Structure formats: structure tokens, C-alpha cells
Structure 1
Amino acid sequence: MKTTALIAEDEALLAADLQAELLKLWPDLEIVASVGDGEAAVEQALNLQPDVLFLDIRMPGMTGMECAQALAEDWPENGKRFPLIVFVTAYDQYALQAFERAAFDYVLKPVQPERLAKTCARLQERLQDRTTPTTAVSPLDAIVDQMRELLAAGRPESPHRMSANTPLRLIQASAGNTITMIPIDDVVYFEAADKYVRVVTAEREHLIRTSLRELLQQLDPQRFWQIHRGAVVRCDAIDTAQRDESGKLTLTLRGNLTRLVVSRLYADLFRGM
């Protein structure tokens, strides 16, 4: 069977150039899709389950990092092996160090055939290793561990995150002509909602026009824990963390009836003492 790949790159010329170079270097590679934004990359990857993903770091909507995170969270346990990921990025020493620590591969823009040839050889070697009996069946543990390392190193596109010494203390939520001042201590959890973030307190909820990624940079990481790519909870508002037979964690909250699911990427936050 042919090796399959998906390209996610918002610049059409760069995507076409990458595809052409790949087909020269790897004639047996089948490009099953080429998409221009992060949401389409996740949708197509889950649908087609390619062997390799080439993800542009900076794309409209979701970044390449966020695509990888979404796929690590949503990849079906009974699906094909999780794809090998190659990040496509402009030169950024911070990003490259993070990728190397987490054992992801990368190529730089504009793509250089010599460097891409090494990446292709490395991918072919890894794919061959996957056919051995010892690695024929593999859960997502390895990719989850890699994603944890990459996330812990900080998002490559935002290396200068706000210091925990200057966390957000007050949120201003506007609705019509009214601006509501919400003390950060009143927030139970935040949840991504399209181009907005839901700010949920014990009494009510508000919408603010920002991304969860931008908001995270302003929150105290000791008090607010990301438990899913689309959810952040105030840790002292958590009542219990319950694990079912499949290992999935669900949180119950103080002062709120909502139950929040913890993705496998963040399950290690909850360990009994």
C-alpha cells in the first residue's frame, strides 16, 4: 500500500511547491489532500487518516500546533496509527528547539530539496519501523507524550508569554451598551466558542471577543489549568475528577452543574497524592 500524506499550508504556491518536491523525492507517496486552514486540516486528517501530516505552523484559524493538539485529543483509539507530523515553519530558533525536544520533524520555508530529502528518508525509516511486530499495535501514548513536551516548552508562535507575576485580575465583558466587570476570582471556567470565549461564573456566563490562546497568556497558570484545547478551569473550583473504565476523566465543579471532560493530553494534571 502507498504511503499517504496530507499538506496543510495557507499559501497556495508554497503548498504546490512542497507537493511537487515531495513527489520528486518520494514517488510512491500519495498526497490525499492539500488544505489551506487548520480546521480543514483536522477535519480531513480525521476523515482520511493519512500516514504523514505536513502542517504549516501559521495558518488562519488554528495553527499547526493547535491542529496537532486537536488530533492528539480526538484521534480514534480504534483508528489507524497516529500520523507522523512534520511542521513547516519560517526560521525560528525557539520553535526548532521545541520541535527537536519533542521528537517532531520540521522543514523550513522556503523548502530546500536537500533538507526535505532528509526528512523523507527519516519518515520512511520510521514508517518501516512501524511494520515490525513490536510496534504493529500502538496506542497514542507516544504522541501524547510528545505533545505534552511541546506544549510545556511553550507555543512556538508565542514564545513571550505573559509572566505569572502580572496575571489578569479583571475581565471586561461587553454586551450592547453595557460593560460588566468580572473579577477573575469569580470565573469557574473558560470555554472556546467560535471567535469568542465563554466566561462562566457561578451565577451566569458572558462572552468576550478574544481567543482562548490569547487569554491563556494573561492567566495565572497556577490557578487556571487548561484541560482541553477548548477549556480552561479554575483549579480551586474543581470538586472531583472521576475516571471511567476507559480512562476518560470528567470533572465536577463547585457552584456549577457542568461536567468538563479532560483530554488525554492534560490527564497527568490529576494524580492522587
Structure 2
Amino acid sequence: MLTKRALIAEDEPILSLTLQKMLEKLWPELQLCAIVDNGVAAVHEALKQLPDILFLDIKMPGQTGLEAARELAEEWPEDKAFPLIVYVTAYDEFALSAFEHSAVDYVLKPISEERMSKTVQRLRSRLEDSSQQATELERVLGQLRHLLPGSAGNSNNTDLATQFQPTERLSLIRAAVGNQIRMIPVEEVLYFEATDKYINVVTAEHSSLIRSSLRELLPQLDHHVFWQIHRSTVVNSRHIHLANKDEAGKITLRLRGSDDKLSVSRVYAHLFRQM
């Protein structure tokens, strides 16, 4: 068997070192190809190194482990096997109810050698089973659809950091346009698109920038109406005219009142399966 390679993404240096030492002891032939301390670097290095296994801390600067996994699921080369993911989390109760429910492999902080030994055995078994490796991307996509916020029709979706805290629904958006404030009823919005530190709010008549992030915006939207279709795009489902799938299986949306074409990522493609 070829040497397997792993990436560790953990922002707490002591925990990162502990994880490294445990893996060296329990799986000495495993090669650590990269060790990073934030979600953005995790995505960058994973796409560069294409490891077999990812150890992702759930709560990291820049991007959470779940957000990093989503971006990797969207960007991973189609001709490469998707890596096995192990989430590292301090959310004990949430991990038991959500991670086990969706069959995600995880280890709890503080990491115990006994639990890590079981994880290593599980990873070895999966890597030896070519049929499981072939379906790993679909398995991860299913997990992310259950755990990430913003998927239509799933009341269990939430950001781990908010832990199901209720948020008041947004009805009116105030966007600065020069020296004026544009008042935009939320039902008129065709889609929201994240652009660096801003969100572009697009209606049939105009587009406006607001200083916010999708992570802040999503809990304020009705997820039955506003569907996340990409890590940077949320669309008003009531304005969707048609969804087109090309020969490669990639889906693009056309909206009423707009000539824009919106791409749907792998994570959210299930929203447009024929009913």
C-alpha cells in the first residue's frame, strides 16, 4: 500500500502537537504533509497537497472546519479521490447528536489516545476499501447538507457557534448608496452574493453592497425561501425560473427579472433534483 498522507488544521498549538504525537505513535507510517492553524490555510494546502486524510478543527479562525470542508467539496478535482475527514471538536453534546446522526467521524477535545486509536482503525479500514473511497465525496456531501446552515428545508441546520440561538427574521435591508440609504424589502431580493467583506444585494432593478457576511446574514433569512446554492451565493427561490444541468452535471440557475446565471455547487445540487 502506498504511504498515506494527512493534513492537520488546528488553531491551538498544544492540541495540534498532541494530535501529531498520537498519530506518530498509533500510525507511524502516516505522513503529515501539512499542519496549519486556520480554515483558509487548510483549504489552500489541501488543494495543493491533495492528502488522503484531513483532521479539521471545527472552530478555527477564518473558516470553521465545516466551511473548509464545504469549500473543498466544491473545489476538489473530479479525477482525485476525496479525502477522509475527521472533525476535531469541543462541542460534546452537539457532536453526539449531530455528528453521529450523520455518520461523521470526529474526536472530542481533549483528545484521548483510546478514542484516537479507534479513529485510526476506522480510517485504515476505509482506505483499504476502494468501494468506500469511491463514494467518499457523496458521503461528505450528505454530511455537510445536514450540518451546515443555509440548506433549504432543514430546520436542524445551524452554525455551531450560535448553538440554535433564535434570530429575528430580516424584512428590510438598508444599503448605503453614496450619501443615501436604499431601503430594500427582502422579498424583492433576487440573490445575495458574498464579495470579500461585503455582500452584493441584487434585485431586478439594481444591486447594492452591504457590509456583512453570509454567516451573519443566513440566520436572519427564511431558509424555506432563501436557499444557499454556493458558499458565496444565496438565492430567493421564489424568483428561480429554471435550473439547467449540462453534460458534466453542473447546474446553473436563471432567475426571473435577471440575465445573470448562478452556479450551484456540488454541496447544494440536491436541491434541484426532479421532484
TM-score by length of 2: 0.90
Separation of aligned partners in 1, 2:140 and 2:113:
27
Residue 161 of structure 2 corresponds to 157
Structure 1 counterpart SS, 2:190: strand
CA 1:199 to 1:3, structure 2 compared with 1: closer, same or farther past 3 Å? Answer: same
CA 1:162 to 1:205, structure 2 compared with 1: closer, same or farther past 3 Å? Answer: farther
Task: Tell me the C-alpha RMSD between the 2 structures.
Answer: 1.9
Residue 128 of structure 1 corresponds to 128
Structure 2 counterpart SS, 1:202: coil
CA 1:35 to 1:192, structure 2 compared with 1: closer, same or farther past 3 Å? Answer: same
Q: In structure 1, what residue type is equivalent to 2:110?
A: P
Residue 7 of structure 1 corresponds to 8
Gaps of 5+ in 1: none
Separation of aligned partners in 2, 1:37 and 1:90:
16
Residue 67 of structure 1 corresponds to 68
Residue 222 of structure 1 corresponds to 224
Of 224, 231, 239, the match for 1:237? 239
Residue 205 of structure 2 corresponds to 203
Q: Give the share of equivalent positions with the same residue, in percent.
A: 54
Q: In structure 1, what residue type is equivalent to 2:238?
A: D
Q: Does 1:146 align with 2:150?
A: no
Residue 265 of structure 2 corresponds to 263
Q: Is the 8 A contact 1:161 1:217 kept in 2?
A: no
How far is the alpha carbon of 1:135 from its aligned partner? 5.0
Q: In structure 2, what residue type is equivalent to 1:128?
A: E
Separation of aligned partners in 2, 1:140 and 1:172:
39
Q: In structure 2, what residue type is equivalent to 1:146?
A: Q
Gaps of 5+ in 2: 149-153
Separation of aligned partners in 2, 1:205 and 1:272:
31
Residue 178 of structure 1 corresponds to 180
Structure 1 residues 81-120: aligned runs within 5 Å: 81-120=81-120
Separation of aligned partners in 1, 2:189 and 2:257:
11
Q: Is the 8 A contact 1:241 1:252 kept in 2?
A: yes
Structure 2 counterpart SS, 1:252: strand
Q: In structure 2, what residue type is equivalent to 1:76?
A: P
More deviation, 167-176/24-33: 167-176
Q: How many residues align structurally? A: 267
CA 1:246 to 1:256, structure 2 compared with 1: closer, same or farther past 3 Å? Answer: same
